Structures are given as structure tokens and as C-alpha cells.
A and B are shown apart, each in its own frame.
Chain A
Amino acid sequence: MAVHTSQSVVKAAGGNTARGRSRGTGTPPPAPGRIRRGLSTHWYAWTMVAPVVVVISVIIGYPLLRGIYLSMTDADERNVARSIGVNELPATYEFVGVDNYVDALTGSQFLGTLGWTLVWTVACVSITFAFGMALANLLNRRIAGRSAYRMALILPWAIPGFVSVFAWRFLYNEERGLLNKILGGAGFDAVPWLNDPTMAKFAVIAVNVWLGIPFMMVALLGGLQSIPSEQYEAAEMDGATAWQRFRHITLPGLRPVSTTVVLLSTIWTFNMFPVIFLLTRGGPGEATQILVTQAYKFSFEISPRDYAQSSTWGVLILVLLMLFAVIYRRVLRSQGDNW
């Protein structure tokens, strides 16, 4: 990211130059002489980006490297460096290589949690996308009170996430929650929303879908509005049905938007900490624990806190998401999208 920023600034600052061309033709990196010349010509640009580079490497680079390092040690609460008042206790943890990764990947806990995390991600993203698409299409028509509907549907986005989740927790309460009161009024038995593993999974997905729809809807609505209406008119002239118009104009027209939002929303959902943590704390038992909440648990909820295992899971999550993004882009590119 840092490199990227600096290059664009260099270009913006008037770099005409071999640099830009060499990137385009894909020749090997410029010789040291060029770097020196580049530095002396564009020193002001480097000076200007320096603070950004420093800040980014401090807030992203350092913790990332540190996390990777910790994942190769046996660091926990007992052996990390601590400063307690006047006492400075030095770190005494040791380097253990890839042991933590071997443990995580051969044990059942990581793979089990990964399984549910994938189910959770796929379910949330696909349902959210379907609802978002349907609502965007509804709101793209000229209907009375359109802006009021839009406002109402964006509301979940405007409320802070934790407030929504706590509100849902009240609704889900087995004895006193509104949902069960309504069901009770209609003569149904109380549903153990958060106390039954299957219902709890359903419950967390429902909340995440509810939270995710506004973003999906707004993004897709934007996409819909960018599709020229002439295309629809022409299709109508040719006698295309509504479904055919949707299938052959709307979907391809939305493609640039939808591929991006699906990628983003997959990454967000995969790491959607607050919904799971605040709604069920991963329970009942471990039924709704996803990878990030479990990594948090290692780092903050058990005693002694297991920093090494937590970082290991963190690195694995990062690797999984990077793999996903790469494959996703490959697939899209093979289908002709120019990403």
C-alpha cells in the first residue's frame, strides 16, 4: 500500500520518466542509479509521503509482523513482557517455529470452527445479496413514498452495530423477548432462540442479514441507476419479458458493482466479530463460534491468555482471506472482467 501511494504521488508530481514506462512494459526493476536519480529529482515527493509511510508501517506493518512473530512462539500471559508499576518483567517466551500452525491445522478445533465460519459467510452473503437485490429493484421503480422506504431500509445501517445487536438480544430472549411473546399470542410454543444450537445459528445469521441489507441495497441501487434506460426500452420493443430483461440487462449491468460488494461483504462477514460476540458469545457451547471470536477468546477470555495461539489463528484468517481474494479475482478475470 505504501509503495502504491508513493508511486502515484511521484507520477502526480511530474515524473515523466523511465519509471512509468518501465512499469508499463514490465521490464525488471530500475538499476540503483535510477533510484538515486529518482530520489534526487523527486525528493520532495518522498518527503511528503514519508509521514504516511511511517504511520502506515507503525499501525499496520509493525503489529502484522509482530503478530506473525508471536504466532511462531509460545507467548502467553505468563511469559510476555509486563510492566507492573515499578516492576519491569522481561519476556521469557521462546521461538517454536511452525508448531502452532501444525497444531491448529491438525487439531479438530480450527477445522471445525472454519467449517461453521464458511457456512456462516456463504449463508449471510448470499441471503443478504438476494434481499438487497430484490429491495433495490423494488426501490428503483417510481412508487409512492419511495424516499421514505429508502430511509427506513437504510436505518439499520445508521444505528451503531452494538445497539442493534443488543436490541435483537432482547427480542430473542426466551422468556421475556418480544418474538416469543408474539409467537405465544398466536398459540405457538416459545422458541429457544439463543439456547438451542441450531436456532442460535439461525438467529445470528438473521441479525447479520438484517444489518447487511442496507449496504447491499444502496450499492446495488446505485448500480441499477447507472444502467441506461434505453436498454430496457429497446428490450421492451423487442418483446422481452420482465424476467428476460432482468436476466440479460440488469444482471450484466450490475456486474461491476455486485462483484465488488460480494467480495467486500464476504471479507466483512468472515470477520464479523460484534454480531457473534455480542449476541451469543459464540454459544451455546461453541455452536456459533467463528474464527475471529475464537481467536479473541484465546487472547482475552481464557486464563492464562494464549497470545501465540490467538496470533496463529489471526494469521491463518488473513491467509484464508487473501487466498479467497486472489482466487475470486482470477475467476472474474477469466470471465472477462478487467480487474
Chain B
Amino acid sequence: MRRGITATALVAALALAATACGGGDKSDGGSSSGELSGTVTWWDTSSVGSEDKVFKKLAEGFEKKHPKVDVKYVSVPFGDAQNNFKNAAQSGKAAPDVIRSEVAWTPDFASLGYLAPLDGTAALKNQDDFLPQALASTKYEDKTYAVPQVIDSMGIFYNKKLLEKAGVKPPANLDELKTSAKAIKDKTGKTGLYLRGDDPYFFLSFLYGEGGDLVDAKTKTVTVDKPEGVKAFKAVKTLVDDGTAKTDASDGWENMMQAFKNGDVAMMINGPWAVADTLTGKEFTDKDNLGIATVPAGSAAHGAPQGGHNLAVYAGSKNLEASYAFVEYMTSVEAQATAAGELGLLPTRTSAYAKKEAVNSEIVGFFKPVVETAVERPWIPEGGSLFAPLGVEYTKVLTDQTTPEKAAKAVGDEYRKLLKDWK
């Protein structure tokens, strides 16, 4: 009961507080005088210790351009951001003006009324310049609620030295992955692949690889429990059972990065957001040791999910004008080129790819074609909700608590509860 009480107490207390303070504060966006002023609080969710430094510096650049605007930079760990934002946004207290929202969160936040529509505002300049697949996740009911900041997908990161020692090439499909992992084990004693067992996002490339998907939004059908879904669960289970991959049900991100950076595993599946962090590892003091290839194909296809991050403005922001300008600035061609050059992050604007920073970045060069062929996820409000039930069953499969068949069925059942009237 204690939780229940706390939850309702929280809701009640926050509701009281919100009504008490709702009237007082006057907007000081300052648009009337033409010059922007006020405070813009920005919740950045990028990787701490690598990406965040670059974004913080970029945000400071905005203050130079608009001296009267004070940008309050807050680094929020990615894992907590969705929850924290929901708590803050719902109550109307302590919410940031701008949040870096993962693509699946964006329609969710928008459908709950937490985000300000951006059509026709300063935030959304040159809309035609954005990659259409990046813009897709920002729409909800024909309005645009966010501006794409980076787009990404996944590839297989490999330790070139270890693969050379074992005499294998980066695996093109799951069978090659298994034989390579065996060779790596025999020649170097290291494990082939690190497979995140605690985050279902890392399962998607296997699901797409077998030709499956979570849901089909066009026909309103749940597809995860189709035979392809079962095959995908079997595929990941086999990888762990035969020793190709090691996995973890807790602290997966930390363990994966440590294991790969120290050379304890030869490969991991990851995205451009992990590049800067990976290069801080002792195995990669020589940058050239890091190789990236497309994810190993399953029996049907090479399938990596399309992901990325958007910048969204909180509907209750007291500084809407300054927030719009900030979003525009942070998603501008120049800002995207900087992120591409320093971090290897992929721009969402077509024209940013022509910039020399992007052209010279090997990582951008590698991931661009991957993103173009990446599997687009269903941009429905429930998109972000699909991961919780999947995560439970995915971990259960990897820890032998359920069979692939039962897991697929259980996830499908949960989805049908979540998505009313879907098949």
C-alpha cells in the first residue's frame, strides 16, 4: 500500500501545488521587444562523459548568440529521463523547457498533451531539409511535436585485432557469427559477442533479421507472436546457449561497454551514440582498432532498427519563444555538423551531410547507408509502451525461464491489451 499511497499523495500534492502556483508567473519570453530573453532549461539525455560535453558546449554557443537568454543545461541519464519528464510534465512543476526525446517517446509525450506543437514556429525552419524517416517520429495526429536532432541505427562493433588473431572477418549472418565466435574463443580465449539481455531494443535487429516485427500499424495487427517472432527468440537463445554470446540481466550497458573496451569480448551490437565512449577504452587508444559492420543478418534480412533523438518543447514552458529558437539552433546544420564531426552522430538534415565534418567522419559514412535501409518503427503513441512487456519476456528467454514460443505469445497478449481493437 505504501506505494499506492505515495503515488496518490504525490498526484494530490502536485495538483495542489500546481493550482496554487498556476496563476502567478507571467511569461517573460520577451518576444514583444524582438530580443529573446529568459531561461531555457534543457534536459540532455546523451551519453554522459562523452557526448554530453559536446552538447553542453553547443548550448553555450546559443547563449553567446542571445546574451539575454540563460540556458540551463541539465544532463539527465537516458534511462531515467522518460520517467522524470513524465513526473514533471504531468504536474506542471519543474519540467524542462526543452527535452531531448528518444524517437519512441515523442508520440507518447505528444499524445499525453505534454508537448507544444511546433508547426509554424521558429523551431521548425526548412522542414523540407529533414530526412523524411527522421521527421516521421515527430508527428502525432497531423501536427509536429519535435525536431529531429540525430538519427541512428545499429551495427556490429568489432575489435579488429581480436578478429585478425582469430583469422575471421566480421560476420555477415548469424551462422558466420557462431563460427567466428568459436574461432575467437579457440584462438584468443575471448567471448565472441556481448548481447544486451536487459534491454529489448537490442533484440530488434534479430527480430527484423528473421523478417518479423512487433506490430504492423497499417493493418493494426500484432505481429510479434507470428512464427518469425518465435524464430527470433530462438535465435538469441541459441547465441547464449552455445557460448557465442555472453549476456546480462542487469547493468547490461555498463557491463557491455566495459567488456568491449577492455577487449574481453570481440563484438557488440551498438549504435553511433556509443562510438565516443568506446574510443575511451584501452583497446581503442588506437582508433583504427574499432571496426563497424552491418548487423549480422538473420534468415530473412539484415535488419537494424531506426532510432534517434528529437528535441521537443514542453507545452507548459514559460519561455516558448526562446525555447523554439533554442531548438532551431540545436538542430541547425552547423550544430549537426559539429556533432557529426566530434561524435560521429548522424545529422537529420540532408544539407548537413554535405558539410566537411560529416563528409570526413568515417562513422557517419558507415552509418548513413545503414540508416537509409533501417527498419522504421511504428510511430504510434504506444510505441514506447511496447518495450516493457517485450523486455520481461526477452530476459526470461535468455535466463531460461520461458520458451521462445511462450514468450512470443505472452508479448502478443500484452500488446493486444495495450492496443485496443488490434488483431
Contacts and interface: CB of A to CB of B under 8 A. Distances in A.
Contacts of A286: 392, 396
Contacts of A304: 112, 385
Contacts of B392: 283, 285-286
A146 interface: no
B5 A314 contact: yes
A82 B264 contact: no
Interface stretch (A35-43, A173-181, A209-217, A224-232): A173-181
A307 interface: yes
Nearest to A60: B5
Contacts of A271: 1-2
Given A169-B251, A173-B251, A287-B401, A87 B113 contact: yes
B92 A301 contact: no
A314 B399 contact: no
A278 to B, nearest CB: 10
B401 to A, nearest CB: 5
Interface in A45-92: 59-60, 62-64, 66-67, 70-71, 77-78, 80-89
A64 B9 CA distance: 9
A295 interface: yes
Contacts of B9: 59, 62-63
B163 to A, nearest CB: 21
A269 interface: no
A84 B316 contact: yes
B401 A77 contact: no
Chain B: interface size category: 35 or more
Interface stretch (A135-143, A156-164, A192-200, A249-257): A192-200
A83 B91 contact: yes
Interface residues of A, number: 59
Contacts of B2: 271, 273, 292, 314
Contact of B401 (A60, A89, A169, A197): A197
Interface string B18-41: 110010000000000000000000
B224 to A, nearest CB: 17
Contacts of A305: 86
Contacts of A81: 15
Contacts, number: 165
Contacts of A321: 1
Nearest to B250: A194
Interface string A212-249: 00000000000000000000000000000000000000
A194 B1 CA distance: 27
B11 A78 contact: no
Nearest to B251: A173
B258 A176 contact: yes
Interface in B219-269: 247-251, 255, 258-259, 264
Interface string A291-329: 010011001111111010011011101100100000000
Contact of A195 (B7, B259, B318, B399): B399
A243 B318 CA distance: 73
A128 interface: no
B388 A301 contact: yes
B26 to A, nearest CB: 11
A67 B315 contact: no
A273 to B, nearest CB: 7
Given A84-B316, A85-B316, A307 B249 contact: no
Contacts of A121: none
B315 A85 contact: yes
B149 interface: no
A154 to B, nearest CB: 25
Contacts of A150: none
Nearest to A320: B1
A231 B142 CA distance: 84
A84 B385 contact: no
B8 A195 contact: no
B399 A196 contact: yes
A311 B92 CA distance: 23
A315 B1 CA distance: 6
Interface string A3-27: 0000000000000000000000000
A305 B7 CA distance: 11
A280 interface: yes
B86 to A, nearest CB: 7
Given A284-B401, A311-B8, 11 more contacts: A66-B8, A67-B8, A83-B19, A84-B90, A176-B255, A195-B250, A271-B2, A273-B3, A283-B392, A284-B395, A303-B86
Interface of B: 1-9, 11-12, 15, 18-19, 22, 82-83, 86, 89-92, 108, 111-114, 197-198, 247-251, 255, 258-259, 264, 314-318, 382, 384-385, 388, 392-393, 395-396, 398-402
5 contacts: A175-B258, A284-B198, A287-B401, A305-B86, A314-B2
**A-B complex: 7 closest residue pairs judged by Cβ atoms:** A314-B4, A85-B316, A284-B249, A285-B396, A318-B1, A63-B9, A83-B92
